Amino acid sequence: MLLRPTLRSAVLLPFRGRQRAVGVQAQAAKSGKGFGTTAKLQEVPVVTKLEWTSPLQIIKYPDPRLRAVNAKINVFDESLMRLAKEMIEIMYQDDGVGLAAPQVGVNVRLMVFNPMGRDKPGNESILVNPEIVEQLGGKELGEEGCLSFPRIYGDVERSRQINVKALDATGQPVKLTLTDPWVARIFQHEFDHLQGVLFHDRMKPSVLETVRPELVALEEAFLADHPAAKVQRLAPAKGAKGFGAPKK
């Protein structure tokens, strides 16, 4: 999930075009199956049934579901609409502007977002099986936060503009050009989640080192509660010995 912008962020423009909601069957990934991997798009499974437990909860780093394979959706019914609505509700509850399904423990290729946040409900976008077709307009650094990483913020480089394609509420293909840098950033942040990529993966080394203690603290807290979990931990700092090394 990408958090709402701070006051120093650029002015946000509405996401253009009529956005429609989604209904799909899908299967949430089972615990421990495929965790800790990032699948190439052509290798991802296709979902056949959607199951989740309500109410949804934001899962925290380094929960292995954040690195899991996210299944492609190809069956449309009301179940995914219900999931999308629940995702939008929790996104607003936590003051976010975007949320990807794996962040609530459902490993399917679904994202929801509203660049204006909860102050402007009704502007939500729901995208199924999204892809980035083209990156435009150069790149820029911008501060990001993520509710899967409580109270951790850092600069991440993103493309300023992108062309994307996805499926709409009825399963029809849509093509979007995101020319507002903030909207493009939201999409790229959530799209990364669908690839098993987390925002600290894209931080420059100097930025990553500023948040390393907080990341390691999250890892230790998670492993204290889940000692048998197989998680992908932060790589050791250059020159460090064993700091943040993967748990055997």
Catalytic residues: 190
Rounded to whole angstroms, the Cα distance separating 247 from 99 reads: 29
Residue 146 in contact with residue 60, Cβ under 8 Å? no
Residue 86, H or E segment = helix 78-93
Residue 107 in contact with residue 101, Cβ under 8 Å? yes
Question: 111 forms bridges with which residues in the sheet?
Answer: 100, 127
Rounded to whole angstroms, the Cα distance separating 186 from 96 reads: 10
The residues near 248 (Cβ < 8 Å, ≥ 6 apart) are none
**Residue 99, Cβ density class (10 Å: 0-12 exposed, 13-18 middle, ≥19 buried):** buried
Residue 203 in contact with residue 155, Cβ under 8 Å? yes
Residue 175, H or E segment = strand 173-178
**Residue 57, Cβ density class (10 Å: 0-12 exposed, 13-18 middle, ≥19 buried):** exposed
